[in-house]
Structure 1
Amino acid sequence: MKRRRRTLVPGRCGHDVVLKLESVMLHTESVKRSRERSAMELAIREAKARLSELVAAARSGERVIITKHGRPAVELVRCDHGGGIDFEKLEAARRRLGIEGDRERWPPEYDDPAFSRRVLGLDIE
């Protein structure tokens, strides 16, 4: 990495102020390098071709970043919960709220297609 020459500019307080453009550029380069070390970064086209490999990497805890036009678009991460409905928690919540049994079912006529046609005004008589 090549060091750039610093430019000194007199500041308002009488102190010399160093323009930090070069250091910002160097910092940006180091951030890019550290991002490459800590995560897999792939373009969408390559990610489509290697999806099963990326899923395995994400499941093992590695960060997988998918880019679009060179910019990070999405991050593929491990899903820590199983998903779906936890019926035990649902039943506990129903008991806590005082909701018992299946009294809150839809009336049987709601399942009748003729009732739906009548409600929607589609009856042909």
Structure 2
Amino acid sequence: MDKGRIPKIALQCNPNGKRPLGRPRKRWRDNIQEILTKYRLGRLDRLEEEGIFHDGEEWKRRCSQLTGPKAYLGKILFVCLFVCLFVCLLAGWLAGWLAGWLAGWLAGWLAGWLAGWLAGWLTG
């Protein structure tokens, strides 16, 4: 292989300098790909090959799932479940507290009445 050919230079290259520390910087394409993956719209390179970005109706159809009622359904269900759980726990705690208070009050009243009746019966 001739010494001036690019493959030979690339093979024997010893670059000077240092790589920057940390992860590589995020590019615009990386952010777009992350969003597309999150919402399951497809891969960026595939969408570019198919020309979907230039077809307004197809792109609108794919993006409509992000803003329609189905997009918020999972969040709404989560909030409803959380509220129901909180109300059930609160109702259970309140019922237990009320039952304990009522039982304590009833036992105290009954003990007082019985002590009064017994004292009256013994002295009378």
Settle same-fold status: TM greater than 0.5. Answer: no
Q: Which has the larger radius of gyration?
A: 2
Say which structure is richer in helix: 2
Higher RCO (CA 8 Å, separation ≥ 6 residues): 1
TM-score w.r.t. the length of structure 1 is: 0.28
TM-score w.r.t. the length of structure 2 is: 0.28
Say which structure is richer in strand: 1
